[in-house]
């Protein structure tokens, strides 16, 4: 992008006078533009590159209380006197916002009033995410079921092994009842 001279940039200076109509003066022309009362809240038909807003006179503030005054009038934002508000490519003046980020806390910046910072994800992304989550949950459930089945099989085999050992010990004692009297253990338990 090349540099532009100061004359090629259209600047609109606007004064908000209470409830009266907007009085605007184009830079370089001395003639004021006074739109009809019905259009008082909107900008003139000519679209400037930069909009220079002069704020309303300061109102009395409570002692010890700081307030930053920002008011919406029509489609533009009335800010503290001397703040340049650039015009967006869509034709609306940009809005002035305060940063909530940690690095740039409470700093002001301009952005398009039609811009959505936290837009919702597209429906196809939501569907993909839902399908992915469902697939993962099904896989986890199948894996858990498989582990539980293996654990049940292992416990059943161990139980069967213990019962078989007890049966052999009982059979050995029935064969030789003197083994308990002599305090000898059956051969199958040694």
pLDDT score, position 184: 59
pTM for the model: 0.30
pLDDT score, position 80: 57
- HEC assignment per residue over 1-69: CCCCCHHHCCEEEEECCCCCCCEEEECCCCCEECCCHHHCCCCCCCCCCEEEEECCCCCCCCCCCCCCC
Give the separation between CA 86 and CA 94, rounded to whole angstroms.
6
Give the residue ranges of the chain where pLDDT is below 50.
1-36, 38-68, 70, 72-75
Q: What is the DSSP string of 160-181?
A: HHHHHHHHHHHHHHHH-THHHH
pLDDT score, position 24: 41
pLDDT score, position 180: 67
């Amino acid at each position: 992008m090349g540099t532009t001279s100061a004359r090629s940039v259209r600047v609109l200076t606007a004064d908000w006078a209470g409830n009266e109509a907007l009085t605007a003066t184009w830079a370089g022309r001395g003639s004021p533009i006074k739109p009809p009362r019905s259009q008082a809240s909107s900008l003139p038909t000519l679209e400037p590159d930069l909009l220079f807003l002069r704020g309303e006179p300061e109102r009395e503030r409570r002692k010890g209380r700081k307030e930053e005054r920002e008011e919406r009038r029509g489609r533009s934002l009335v800010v503290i006197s001397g703040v340049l508000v650039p015009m967006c490519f869509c034709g609306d003046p940009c809005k002035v916002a305060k940063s909530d980020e940690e690095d740039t806390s409470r700093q002001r910046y301009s952005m398009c009033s039609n811009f959505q910072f936290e837009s919702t994800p597209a429906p196809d992304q939501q569907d993909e995410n839902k399908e992915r989550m469902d697939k993962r949950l099904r896989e986890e459930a199948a894996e858990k079921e498989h582990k539980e089945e293996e654990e049940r099989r292992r416990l059943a085999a161990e139980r069967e092994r213990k019962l078989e050992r007890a049966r052999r010990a009982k059979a050995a004692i029935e064969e030789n009842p003197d083994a308990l009297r002599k305090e000898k253990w059956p051969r199958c338990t040694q």
